[in-house]
Each structure stands twice: as structure tokens, then as C-alpha cells.
Structure 1
Amino acid sequence: MATKITSGDFDEQFLTCPVCMLHFRDPKILPCLHTFCKECLQDWATKQQPLECPTCRTQVSIPDQGVDGLRTNFYVNNLLDFAAAKKGAEPGVPCQVCEGNVEGSKSWCADCATLLCKSCTAVHRKLPCSKDHEVTPEETLKAEEAISNFHRKRHCDKHKKYELEFYCESCNALVCTACTVVDHRPGKDHNPVEIATVAQKRKRTLQELLQDIDPRLKEIQASVKKVERTMENLPPSKEAAINQTKAYFRQLANLLQKREKEILSQIDEQCLADSKALQTKKEAIEFQLAGLTSAQTFCQQAVEHGSDVHILEVGNQVQTRVETLLSKQLDLESDWSEFQFVENMTVVDVEKEVDNFGGVKTNVDVSKCKIVRKPTVQGFECVAELTIVNKEGRPCVTNSKAVTTNMKDPSGTVVPMQLQMRNWGEWEISYVPKVTGNHMLEVKVNSQQVTGSPFDVEVKEKDTPVLTIGQKGSGVGDLDGPIGVAVDKDGNIAVVERGNKRVQVFDGNTGQSLNIFPVAGEKPYGLGVDSTGRFLVTSWGEDCGLRRYSKEGKLLNTFKPDPLLDPHGLAVLKDGRMVVADKTQQKSCLLLQPDGSLIREIGKGQLKGPVSVSVDELRDVMFVTDDAGHKVFAFDLDGNMKFDFGKEGKNDGEFKTPRGVTFDRAGNIILVNNTDGRVQVFGPDGTFIRTVATVKGGSATGIALTPDGYIAVACWKGHCIELYRYM
């Protein structure tokens, strides 16, 4: 359980901005709950888009008002005030009003955030404009519990002299007494309640969360200690692995050196044997050469210089000798070819096998590693996600050199790829294909092919669907009249079918059907998913209403507030509030509480046939498609119309019964036409940007944007969901 912070518990770390390392100046809180100076965040935002928290690197979205729209950390302001007041109460600090009374006691006015001496305090309490201010004396500042009771008063931005004393539950806004009379008068549109009442409820909720945090903290702390123990084993494990590696390759090197010596010795022996054989043969040939040369000389002398008597005496003998020598068979060939080294295994062969000469053994089970291939489109950055798991089937970490990837396009050209680790055991393989057609993707971990590798990757053109889900039918995976579509936090695509009167959930990567459940109502239409994963479905006609279902498809609630007569499109806000388009009866949009009670009507008298709605909470703007007026309207959640755009037509920027609408991170508006099936994109102000595609069957009703940048479109006549690459 969290303990109370006393005056001696906090130090400079609570008061110092992590960016500028100075005391906070107008501290602002990011959605991740980290606090920074307003000026530091403004400077940071100019350097980085999208903005990441300087501390935790979480991507955050800045409201339309910029950094000014972020919440102020009043707790930090209180700490700063307390630190200033406590220091000011010390001897030697002058009064901030009269600038005198250095040694006297001081008091702190919470309303003015000013340090006052005893005389100025007395005057301050007598002035009509400040007599009711909260003044804290020096004795209280020095008390241990002072910091817990030290709060800077909050005043209304519109009515400066009034404190914020109420909370309008309908608007989720702090208001003053004057606001409850003027802008937030109690009624059907506003419900101001005393701050203390709402704060106590919120405090109880936070206290329950605190109780849940403690066991989780203990679990995480135990895990940290376990990781630390593992980290302690890293150095000896590294040293052992290095020694084993060196020993292994020394053995290989020794074997190679030994083999080298054997072959060199064999070469020496072979050379010696050949030399002896050739010498013997040489001597034999030389002997025959000497005999024949001698006979030749003798015969020539006899012929040239011998008398007839001499010729007759030795002629027969000479003839016999010469004929004998000439007739003798001599081996004049050397019978020796130059010896050379033979590569029984070429260097190229060794190079191919060198990866098998040892490796780093981890707990990775390549057979269990998984690859998820996202639909790929020519010219866009595409990704495949690799999850490396251990033998227990849990994600595990490995070094980047253990993962190798290779991709070739249809012509065999290598496609450049980038590999980056995203999370524990998860790697992202990114690439930009330049041509369409079938590509081959090879993925290895520890030199072993991941199951299924090499993979076929079909690259498509940008204006064709990268994935088509469903066909006409009533079976699992079939669709009949898909009309509403939504994407849950896991990226799964949920579809409401008019024909089959059911909701079907598909895997956003593979298109595989994950869940099916029936829905009530004659004509189901709108579909939304709240922050907890529950489904909300509207239906019009007989038994119309708004119904909430569990993740599994169990009916939880049915809402039928009085004004709800013809519910169509639906949007669910992060806090559970809902906006429903009532098309033909009310011709407006109804902002509802999570329990289905009405907060206010929006667009009454301005809309002709509101059919679909989408809410950009960061920019406080709600987009409504009006298929009767062939327009798109933008309202804030207070019901004020900000702008509208569009007209009937077939040209770029024109509409033919616009239906589903959504938006991207940049605030661009994406919507579909029911009549011609065009998917168009407009800027935040309604300026036409481009046409993405025209869907199958030429009739589109619902649209949703997936977290990884694909547009999911419900094709009414095509009885399918088509996914197009958008970002």
C-alpha cells in the first residue's frame, strides 16, 4: 500500500524536469504519465514526429491545441509551491510583497502563490478581494503533514475569480459556480456534481487499482531479481563459450595443419621415388646410347679408313653388333607425368560448410519459431514478423547474427532487407518490393531454416486488395451482406452481417475466422469495439436498439434510450461513451453515456440522413457521413458544427451516398461511397487528397483502419471484406 509523502520524503527528483534538468516550469503530463516542462515538450515536439516520450519512448499524440492541450501536473506545482514556501519561511528571505521583513515569520497565500510577511498577511486578510484566501502560516509549513494539505487553488479559465468546485460528468470537465449557471446548467445535456463527490468515487477506483498494483509489483520485482541472477551468470557463460570456441577451432586448425604436413610429406616421398625411378631409367638409356655410339664410331672408321682385308675381317662382326643394337627394344618414354595437389573438397565447398563448423547454442527451437507475413504492396514498406521461441514455446532473445534473411524477386534479383528486434524475441523484417509478382523469402535462425522457409510472398499493386476475406454464404468464413466493420486492439477485423444476422471476427493477417456469434434485431448495422474488447452493435427496424456483447459473444446489455429510433452507425469513445447516428427518425447523432443514457443530441436540424460516425478524440472532432445530403459533417462533442464538405457527383472529392468513415493519425478523413464503391481520402479540413481504390461489386458500406496501416472495407454487394494498403 502506498504511504503518505511527508515534507522530508521528497527531493529534487520530484521537482526536476528530465529534459532541462531544472525545476519544472508549467509541468505537463503525457499520456504515459511522465511529466516535463511545457517549453521542453514544445521544443521536443518540433524535433520529432510522431512524438515519443523522452523518458519511456512511448509514442504519444499531441492534441489539436498542441502541448497547451495536455494536462497540467498540479501535484508537481504543489510540491514546487511547498518547496518555495518552506524555503521562503526560513530566515533571510524577504517578503514577496513589501520585499522587507527578512528575518520575520512568513505565511503562504495559496490563492496568490505568494510569500507574505506578518504585516502583509494582516493587510491581505483585511482586503475584500483577498480576505477569503487560504493563507498557510509558518508553523503549518514546518509541520510534517504540511505537504499533504498544501494545494494551489484552481480557478476557472473563463471566470477567473471563481474556483473550480464542480465536475460536469456529461462533459468530463471541471467547472466553477458561474459555469453551472451559464455553460453547464443542470439538465439533459449537463450534470454538474460537486468535485468532492466525484473525486471520492475516482479515489476509490484508484485505491482499488493500487491494491492490484502491489502484487504485480512484487511479481515484477521477483522477476527483476531472477534476471539479475541470470545476468550474473553471463560473464562466466561467455568465458566458457569463448574457451570452447577457441579450443574447437584450434582442433580444426591442428587437424588442417596435420593434414597439410601429411600431404607435404607425401609430396616429398613421391618426388624422391620418381627421382630414383627416372635416374635408373636414365642410366639404362645412357648405357644403350654408349653402346650404339661406340658401334657407330667403329663402323664409321672401318668404312672410311679400313683396308679391304680389314673390312673382310671385321665386317661380319660389325654388322652383327650394329644389327643387334638396332633391333633391341628400348623404353625411351619417361612414363612420368608431373604430380600436383588435388582438392578433394574445394575451398568453395568448405566455405559452404564453414557455418557448420560450430555455432552458438541457445534454447531456440527453430521448429517452433513463427513467421507472420503481412500483405505486401509494390512500393510500400512491407514487413514480416519473426517470433523466436525456446523449447518451452516461449519467446526468447537471440543475437542479430543468428538471424539471416534473404529475398529474391521474380527475376532472381535480391531485394534489400532490414532486420530489427522490436520486443523480447520478436524481430521485424522490412523491405520495399519494387516489382509485383511472387517473391521468395528465406529466413534462418542459427543457420537452420525456420519452418516453412523459403516462403512465397505475393506482391500486389497498390490499388488492388492485398487480402480478400469471405464470400457469399452462411458457413464459417462466409459473409452475407457485410455492412459494419471494426478493428479490435489486437488488429483482428470484426464484421457485422445483415444477411446472416451475426458478428464474425477474422484474423487481420490471414483472414481466418476466429469467432462467430449471432446478434439480435431485424437489421443489424453499426459495429464498435470498446477499450475492453466488448462489441457494440446497432440494429434498426423491428426491435431496434444498441446492444453490448462480451468478447465471446454473450449479450450483456440492451440500450433503447427514448430518442433512439433508427440507429445506424456507431462510434465508441475510450471512456466508454458512445455516439450513434439516428438516420431517418431523429436525423441526428446521439452522444450516450456508457450506460446508454443520453448526454446530448448533435446535428439536429443540420443533418438529413446521418448514417456513419467516427470520433477523433485527440482533436475533439466527430465526422458524420450524410448519405441523403451527400456530405460529411464535422462536429465537436459539445455539438458545435466545425465544417462540412462534399457534394453529389462521380468526380474526385464528390460523393454518391457516402457511408463508412474513419481517420488516420494525421487527421486525414477516409470514407467510402455506397453507390460506386470508391474509397477516398480527404485532408483534416476536407480537401480531397486521393482515391485509394474502388471495391468489388462497386458498393461499400463500412470502413476501418488497422494499426499496421491497412484499410478494411465492407463490400456490401461483393459479400467480402477487402484490405488495401494505405500507409
Structure 2
Amino acid sequence: MMDIAAAKKGAEPGVPCQVCEGLHGEAKSWCADCVVLLCESCTAIHRKISATRDHELVPQYVMKAEGVDKFQRKRHCDKHKKCELKLYCESCKALVCAACTVIDHRPGKDHNPVEIATVAQKKKETLQELLQGIDSRLKEILVFMEEVDSEIAKLIPFKEAATEQAKAYFRRLADLLQKREQEILSQIDEQCQVDGKALQTKKEAIEFELIGLTRAQTFCQQAVEHGSDVYVLEVGNKVQTRVETLLAKQLDLKSDWSEFQFVENTAVADFAEEFKNLGGLSSDVDVSKCKVLVKPAVEGFRCVTVLTTMNKQSRPCVTHSKVVTANMKDPSGTNLPTQVQMKRGGMQEISYVPKVTGSHKLEVKVNSQQVGGSPFETTVQSRDTPVLTMGQKGSGVGELYSPVGVAVDKDGNIAVVEQRNKRVQIFDADTGHSLGSFPVEGEYPCGIDVDSDGRFLVTSWGEDCGVRRYSKAGKLLNTSKSDCIKHPLGITVLKDGRMAVADLVQKSCLLLTHDGSLIREIGKGHLRTPYFIAVDELRDIILVSDYSANKVFAFDFEGVFKFNLGGQGQYLEHPLGLALDRAGNIIVVNNGDGRLRVFGPDGTFIRTVVTMKGGGPFGLTLTPDGYIAGACYTGHCVEVYRYN
């Protein structure tokens, strides 16, 4: 198909020669063996060179579109240049010529050369079946694309209709608010007028009394100051009676007016809360089918619950986070602040920070309707208590027997190597439920890691030691048993496929290619009992825990010693499992005292995270959402603690 496409392209005018890159003109012919377009000059040279003189050169007119159906590419044997490839060795899965069947592919128990046509026909039938499958898938995809296009076409009209409805709704609400405002303002005006009239009436009455009293005062004063004795005696009694009457009169000199003011029957803050319920966005979410995953919670840490909104067809559907409300209550009934953040695929992340331990309840609503199972109960643990414990001693589903290595797979699940059960068991990181297991070869399986393609790499020591690669489904793909591997324990796979393996017998870290070939030994002369490995690829640093030296050593990829942390009495007591956080901090677990400790990228001690409760902590891994999972060899379990 590629040849035909190239031939069609070669038939176009002005296509340059692919050998001289158009220096001597445009392409005039096609070499079916070299798969290149040639100009006239390069074609002539091609025919003269002994290595290419027998190649099939197709002239330009054959490359025309109408002649493509006549074009058949012939291939010649690389070993026997003049012999055409006409046979296929089924044992070797290789094209061969007749001369090859005499020596290299002689028919027998090791070789089975047959005519190409026979094998090609079978291959064509297989490809035809695949083509039918492609046709079916293409139709399915095209139907889906039509559905998506139809939904895209509906998007703007739906937006416009919803926008108009929302505007009309809030206009009505605004009208109601304005109407209520006018009513209150009218009441204020009426009250002001009534009170003003009453006060004015009282004022006028007092003013009348004031005038009478003022006049009596003036008359009395003039009589006293300027009147003769005869005048005083004539009018004195009348004035005296008038003044005494005015003074004896009881006057209401107190205002009976009561001040008025506007009262907020509903506080603005409370009304703001009510505003959240004024309208909403209704979608195709079926609250009875929504899924809620309550992740383990730890006091003082940001904790998360994941809501997946589902439609009526039980498929995840995207909806705005504004239609999702969450209310978390602690054991005393006090509300905890929550945040809702939209994630991909219809997922909504509900986060909160619990302040106390104990049973908390989370109420989740979508479009003001409770989702199925709400309210959800979650137990908040203290920082030094495992949020999850996986397994107990045994060989059944969900049971563990001497777990050693742990790793996080591509789906975020926790893979555990069980040394006594000789298997890898996968656990759900959120619930702790077993998702399945597969057997592993080797006498004592130990370390585990996951490569960029999601495949598991497992080390084993003892008889038949090596590094084995398994598919996601647990199928053994290949085994690395190079001479340099003597007693492999911990393993880390780099992004480019290289492997770093701790070898107890070699007393070093082996840097290997993806197929297990040795690149170099690292740490020789420094390491005594290397166990587990962590790699900081941003800084090109390899970290190796040394059990008997009570240290963690750091080397660069060239094997140069950089620094170490720990030592006798220096925070580490028989260190084993290692992990790195996103900041490059080094997380180490002590097999001696069970303490999980964190050191800075330069080896400076930072803090003790927790003391693991299970016996004999071994391997360690850090999950993407901030939990530490540690294998407990003698406790026959995996404990999960919150890290950040």
C-alpha cells in the first residue's frame, strides 16, 4: 500500500528525485527494491552499480494513476542478489529464495519453506477479518461522531434558551424586589407624614401657651417696674390671678413621638445563602445512579471525596460544579467548610479539612437533590493511625503472606509482592479490596516496579534468580538472568526503560539496560547490604538503602558517591523501603523501630511521619494522591498512612 501511494505521488509532476534531492531533475522512475524515486541521471547510475543493476526499475508511465493496478513490486534475496524471494520459511518467519532452501533453510524439522502464495493467502484472510473489524469499528465511530455533531449543534440553542429562561426568572425576582422596595419606601413616607402632623399640632398648642405666658410676663414686669402704687393696686389682683392660672396649668412638654427605622427582617448574609437556591442548572444527571467514593480521611489533612455524576443511561456525564453542593458535619454536628472542584469525565472533587477525629457525615446534592446513599459516613483517623490496612496472614483472596515489595500501577492500584505465596496481588488503593493476583516465578520474589507501559518488573533471589517482566494481566513476558545478577532485591525502572537493581551478593546497585544487560555497577566499596532503591531522575541521583550500615547512600548515574544520610544513632535503624515525594524529599522506613522518616534532597533530617504498627516494615511506595503504603513482612499486611 505504501509502494502504491508512493507511486501515485511519483506520478505527480515536479516530484524531485529522492537520491540527488532534485539536483538533476524530477523523478522519472521508481526502484521497487530500494523503494525510492529516481531521476534519469540517477537511474542510469543505478543500472551501472553491481549491487543495484538487478533491481526492478519501473518507468514513469507505469507510475501513472491509471497504471498503478499493473504495478507489482518484486523483492530479491539479500544473500542471493539475483534470486527472487518466492518462498516463506514458516519456522523462521522469513522470506527466502530457492537458493536459501538448499543450505540455510533446508526443509526438515527446523525449517519449513512453502510458497509465498499459500502463506500470503492465509495472511490476506486474516487481514480481511481485521478489515471487517475495522469497518465495524469505523461505523460505530462515525455513528458516535454524528451523535456528537448533533449534540454540538444543539449546544448553542440550548444555551440561548437556558439564558433567556434564567434572565426572565431573575427579572421577575428583580421586579419583586423593586416592588417590595417601593412598598417599604411608601410606608416610610406615610409614617413620616402622620408623625409630622401630630408633632406639628403639639408644637402649635405649646406655642399658644408660650405666647400667653410671655405676654403675662411682660405685663407683670412693666407693672412692677413702672406702675404707680395706685396702678399696681388696681391691676395687681388681675395680673396675679392670670399668672397664677398660667403657672398652675399642666402642660405636656414631652414628645410622644416614637422614632422609626428600617428593619432587616432577613439579614443580607442569610438572604445571600437563600440566593444560592434561586434557580439552578438542570442536566441529564440521575442522582440515584451517581457514584460517590469517600477516600480515607485524616485529621488536619486536606481530604477528598469524589463524586461521579451519571446520566439515566448509567454513563458518566459532565455537569457544572455549581449544581453540586456538599455539607460536611463533624461528630458534634458542626459544619465544616467544603469545596467542590470539577475534574474530567464527570468527576467532582469534594475537599475538606477535618479538625477532629471520629465519625463525620457528608451530605451531597446535585440540582438540590440528594444523591443515592447520602449522607455518607466517614471515619476520620488520627495522624498516627493507618487509614487503611490491606490483608491478613493467609493465602486466600485479599490475604497476604510475608509481603515485601509494593508499587503503584498505572491505574493507581497497589501491587504487592508476597514472598511466601509467590504471587503479586493487586489492591484497590481507596477501598483496600483485592482486585486480583498472578503467580510469579523464582524462589524468593522480592522487589517490584512498574514501567512506562504499565508492565510489572519483579525480582527474585535464590534458585532461578533474575528480573522478570509481566504484562498488566500477569503474563510472563521475559526474564533477565545476566551473569551480573546474583541476588536481586529492590528494583526501580527509569522512564527510558533502564533498570536499577540492588544486588546483595554483588554489594552494589546494578544499572541495567531494558533487556537486563549491565551498564555499570554503582556503589561498589560503599555498600554492604543494599536492599531497596529510589531514583531521582530530575537530579540523576540513585538512592540505595543499606540495612547493616544503617544508612541511605546517594550516587549519580556514573557511580560517583554524592552523600549519605543516617548512620548508627542518626535517625536510621536498619533502613529498607525508600520513596521520593514530588519535592525530592527522601522517605525511609526503619525495619528496626518501624519509624517512617523524611529527609531533604540533600539528606538533612526533616521529620518523623509515623511509626508503623504492623511488624517488620519492608517495601515502601508513595501514591499519587499523597498516601504512603508500606509492606509489613511479619505483620502480613500493607498499611496505608497519610503523607501530605
Q: After TM superposition, is the score higher than 0.5?
A: yes
Q: Tell me which residue corresponds to 1:42.
A: none
Q: CA contact under 8 A between 1:110 and 1:136: conserved in structure 2?
A: no
- After TM superposition, the structure 1 stretch with the greater mean CA deviation from structure 2, 363-372 or 317-326, is 363-372
Question: Which whole-Å CA distance do the structure 2 matches of 1:280 and 1:570 have between them?
Answer: 98
What's the CA shift for 1:602?
2.9
Question: Which whole-Å CA distance do the structure 2 matches of 1:383 and 1:191 have between them?
Answer: 62
Question: Which whole-Å CA distance do the structure 2 matches of 1:592 and 1:263 have between them?
Answer: 78
Q: Tell me which residue corresponds to 1:30.
A: none
Question: Which whole-Å CA distance do the structure 2 matches of 1:109 and 1:396 have between them?
Answer: 53
Q: Tell me which residue corresponds to 1:16.
A: none
Question: Which whole-Å CA distance do the structure 2 matches of 1:382 and 1:152 have between them?
Answer: 66
Alignment of 1:514 onto 2:409 = no
Q: CA contact under 8 A between 2:16 and 2:25: conserved in structure 1?
A: yes
Question: Which whole-Å CA distance do the structure 2 matches of 1:447 and 1:241 have between them?
Answer: 18
Q: Tell me which residue corresponds to 1:142.
A: 64
The residue type paired with residue 469 of structure 1 is T
Q: Deviations over 1:108-136 (max 9, x none)?
A: 4542724254x986775565322321322
Q: Tell me which residue corresponds to 2:265.
A: 344
Q: CA contact under 8 A between 2:290 and 2:307: conserved in structure 1?
A: yes
Q: Tell me which residue corresponds to 2:498.
A: 621
The residue type paired with residue 632 of structure 2 is C
Q: Deviations over 1:240-275 (max 9, x none)?
A: 222222222222222222222222222222222222
Q: Among residues 240, 244, 253, which one is paired with 2:174 in the alignment?
A: 253
Q: Tell me which residue corresponds to 1:656.
A: 529
Seen in structure 2, the aligned counterparts of structure 1 residues 635 and 473 have a Cα distance that, compared at 3 Å, is closer
Q: Among residues 607, 616, 626, which one is paired with 2:485 in the alignment?
A: 607
Alignment of 1:113 onto 2:8 = no
The residue type paired with residue 470 of structure 1 is M
Q: CA contact under 8 A between 1:582 and 1:589: conserved in structure 2?
A: yes
The residue type paired with residue 538 of structure 1 is E
Q: CA contact under 8 A between 1:624 and 1:634: conserved in structure 2?
A: yes
State the secondary structure of the residue aligned to 2:440: strand
- After TM superposition, the structure 1 stretch with the greater mean CA deviation from structure 2, 343-352 or 580-589, is 580-589
What's the CA shift for 1:285?
1.8
State the secondary structure of the residue aligned to 1:332: coil
Q: Tell me which residue corresponds to 1:714.
A: 631
Q: Among residues 155, 163, 176, which one is paired with 1:234 in the alignment?
A: 155
Structure 2 unmatched runs, 5+: 329-335, 563-583, 595-613
Seen in structure 2, the aligned counterparts of structure 1 residues 302 and 514 have a Cα distance that, compared at 3 Å, is same
Question: Which whole-Å CA distance do the structure 1 matches of 2:281 and 2:549 have between them?
Answer: 58
Q: Tell me which residue corresponds to 1:633.
A: 510
User: What is the aligned length?
Assistant: 577
Seen in structure 2, the aligned counterparts of structure 1 residues 609 and 341 have a Cα distance that, compared at 3 Å, is closer
Q: Deviations over 1:388-410 (max 9, x none)?
A: 33466532222465568999xxx
Q: Among residues 49, 52, 66, which one is paired with 1:130 in the alignment?
A: 52
TM-score, scaled relative to structure 1: 0.59
Matches within 5 A, 1:250-649: 250-304=171-225, 314-364=235-285, 385-390=306-311, 393-399=314-320, 419=341, 421-422=343-344, 424-427=345-348, 469-470=389-390, 473-474=393-394, 479-485=400-406, 487-498=408-419, 504-511=425-432, 513-515=433-435, 535-538=438-441, 540=443, 583-586=461-464, 602-604=481-483, 606-611=484-489, 619-636=496-513, 640-647=517-524
The residue type paired with residue 148 of structure 2 is V
What's the CA shift for 1:418?
10
Question: Which whole-Å CA distance do the structure 2 matches of 1:624 and 1:199 have between them?
Answer: 45
Q: CA contact under 8 A between 1:472 and 1:480: conserved in structure 2?
A: yes
Seen in structure 2, the aligned counterparts of structure 1 residues 107 and 278 have a Cα distance that, compared at 3 Å, is closer
- After TM superposition, the structure 1 stretch with the greater mean CA deviation from structure 2, 451-460 or 354-363, is 451-460
What's the CA shift for 1:331?
0.8
Q: Tell me which residue corresponds to 1:87.
A: 12
The residue type paired with residue 86 of structure 1 is A
The residue type paired with residue 635 of structure 1 is L
The residue type paired with residue 658 of structure 1 is Y
Q: CA contact under 8 A between 1:436 and 1:458: conserved in structure 2?
A: no
Question: Which whole-Å CA distance do the structure 1 matches of 2:82 and 2:338 have between them?
Answer: 64
- After TM superposition, the structure 1 stretch with the greater mean CA deviation from structure 2, 101-110 or 501-510, is 101-110
Alignment of 1:694 onto 2:589 = yes
State the secondary structure of the residue aligned to 1:714: strand
Question: Which whole-Å CA distance do the structure 1 matches of 2:273 and 2:503 have between them?
Answer: 65
Q: Tell me which residue corresponds to 2:332.
A: none
Q: CA contact under 8 A between 1:111 and 1:153: conserved in structure 2?
A: no
What's the CA shift for 1:621?
3.3
What's the CA shift for 1:481?
1.8
Question: Which whole-Å CA distance do the structure 2 matches of 1:420 and 1:489 have between them?
Answer: 22
- After TM superposition, the structure 1 stretch with the greater mean CA deviation from structure 2, 666-675 or 474-483, is 666-675
Question: Which whole-Å CA distance do the structure 1 matches of 2:355 and 2:264 have between them?
Answer: 44
Seen in structure 2, the aligned counterparts of structure 1 residues 94 and 570 have a Cα distance that, compared at 3 Å, is closer
- After TM superposition, the structure 1 stretch with the greater mean CA deviation from structure 2, 252-261 or 446-455, is 446-455
What's the CA shift for 1:330?
1.0
Structure 1 unmatched runs, 5+: 6-74, 408-413, 517-526, 528-534, 541-565
Seen in structure 2, the aligned counterparts of structure 1 residues 642 and 145 have a Cα distance that, compared at 3 Å, is farther
Q: Among residues 164, 167, 180, which one is paired with 1:243 in the alignment?
A: 164
What's the CA shift for 1:86?
1.9
Matches within 5 A, 1:17-96: 75=2, 78=3, 81-83=6-8, 85-87=10-12
Report percent identity of matched pairs.
46
Q: CA contact under 8 A between 1:700 and 1:715: conserved in structure 2?
A: yes
